[in-house]
Each structure stands twice: as C-alpha cells, then as structure tokens.
Copies of this chain bind each other. A is one copy, B any other.
Amino acid sequence: MSADPIQAPAPPDPAESGIQVLDRVVGLLGLLGEASEGGAQLSRLAAGLGLSASTAHRLLAALEHHGWVERVEGGRRYRLGTALIGLAGQAAEGTGLRRLCRPALTRLTGESGETTFLIVRSGLNAVVVDRQEGAYVIESLTHGVGGLIPLGVGAGSAAILASQPPAEIEEVLAANGVRYPQFGTSGVQVRRRVQQIQQDGYLLSEDSLISGLAVLSVAIRPAGHNVTAAIAMNFIASRHDQAARHAFLGLARQEAARIEAALALPGSLPRPSSIGVP
C-alpha cells in the first residue's frame, strides 16, 4: 500500500504550534477579540473552535485566573482582560522603538497639528504601536494603539509591506488577498501602491479610503536591524495646500532618517526610568 489507510500523514495546519493548549488559548483570545462589546458566550466560543463546553470552560477559567479574560458585568459573558494591555505595553516597549520614536511623533504632531502613527509589522498585519493625537480628532480614525490592519491596507501598512523583500511581498499579497475587499481595496490596488512607494521612498496620497482625508507615510529601514516600521500621518486634505503637505512629508522623512541613524548606533535605545507615575 502506498498510502497509510489509518494514519493520515499529519496534515500540518499552519495555525498549530505543537502545543494544543496554547493553540486553543490563542484561538479563544482571537475569537474574544473579534467579539465586540457585550462579550462572547462560552457556547459560541466552544463551537467556534470545535471544543467541548467543558474544555472551553476550563481554559476560560484559567485565563480569567490570570486576568487575560474578564467576565462582563452581568457574569455570563467573556471579554479580553486588562492584563493583556499590560503585557502589550511591555511588548511595545520591548524593542525600545516606541521610546525612540515618541519624540519624533510629538514633533510631527506639534508642527502639523495632525495625528501621527508609529506602525510596526506583526505577521500578516501591521499594528499601531504609538499614536499622537492631532488638534482635531478625526472621528472615523478609530485605530488606536494596538489597532490591527492587514499588511498593505492603509498608508503606513503599505509602506511597511513595500520595504519587505520581493518574495515576502508576494507571500503577503497571496495570503491577504481575500481580506482586502473587506477593507475597500484589492490585491491589484495594493500592488500598484507598493510599487509606487518602492519607487518614491514614501507615500503621499490625497485619495485615501475616506474622501477628504490625505495620508502620508515613510518607512523606517535601519541598516543592521530588520525592524520594519513606518511613520504615518493622516490629515484633513482641505486644511492644507499641496505645499504644506510636501513640507510635512519632508519633516517626516527627516524624522525617519534621524531614527534610522539612531538605530545604527549600538546602545542607542534609551533606557526606561521607573518613576513618574500617573
């Protein structure tokens, strides 16, 4: 017999890691993240992952014990816990990138009065690591720190994608293809934009997903490291003329260059201080 009739040759599910408890926990947290507002109920979660109710319950209880999951006021529904926020803070600080870039973001927001973002790659997504609010809050910009965006969608995210090696770009495009339509774009569009960025070294676009909103982004590509991050700005198109926008672009490129230079020096990342507590 050429094929073993009983033992299927272990189909390697890309979502599995070798430790199922972890896979399941990750799955649960993922579902909880999607579940909006009122939280998710046990049975849905269990069904969503193909778990028995008892297993789901046991895992959730353990997660709750660690503060990774909370029960919504009423008592019966689950939601992501605040302990995760703390972990993430440490993760964001971990590379030191946020600390290094914050002054740049502050300066950019100060000069322009617009909202600036620091964005980093995370697998197939880009994640907002820091954000400085501009003078005018743009209502539709709901992506705060921790916001996830498919790699390629949006200015900063596209800039990061554009600075990946070609093979990597193709992989991402293939993997994210199905998600693009949900975000009002397409693989073709993303590819075009990426090429544009590779050519120019930046993105400055008047016609973002939201009409009247201009976007701008510059990738941060330090020499030695492979941190691929980007600085992005979103602003109301009508508030500035083309000259002003190009001025902002210049500032952003300057800040990016400064950060790249700082990263080139070993030990450049400033150390944290533990006092000064709100």
* Interface residues, chain A, with chain B CB atoms under 8 Å away: 17-19, 21-23, 25-26, 29, 32-34, 36-37, 39, 58-59, 61-63, 65-68, 73, 79-96, 98-99, 102-103, 106, 109-110, 117, 119-123, 125, 127-130, 132-133, 135, 137-138, 140-149, 153-157, 182-184, 209-210, 213, 215, 217, 224-226, 232, 234, 269, 271-278
Contact = CB atoms under 8 A, between A and B. Distances in A.
Given A88-B89, A232-B278, A61 B133 contact: no
Given A37-B96, A88-B88, A276 B132 contact: no
Nearest to A120: B82
Contact of A142 (B81, B90, B272): B272
Contact of A277 (B94, B157, B272): B157
Given A83-B123, A272-B36, A90 B183 contact: no
Contacts of A36: 271-272
Contact of A110 (B26, B99, B135, B142): B135
A273 B142 contact: yes
B67 A147 contact: no
A234 B275 CA distance: 13
Contacts of A133: 106, 109, 132-133
Contacts of A85: 88, 91-92, 120, 122, 127, 129, 145-146
Given A140-B275, A142-B99, A29 B87 contact: yes
Given A58-B18, A63-B22, A123-B83, A92 B146 contact: yes
A55 to B, nearest CB: 10
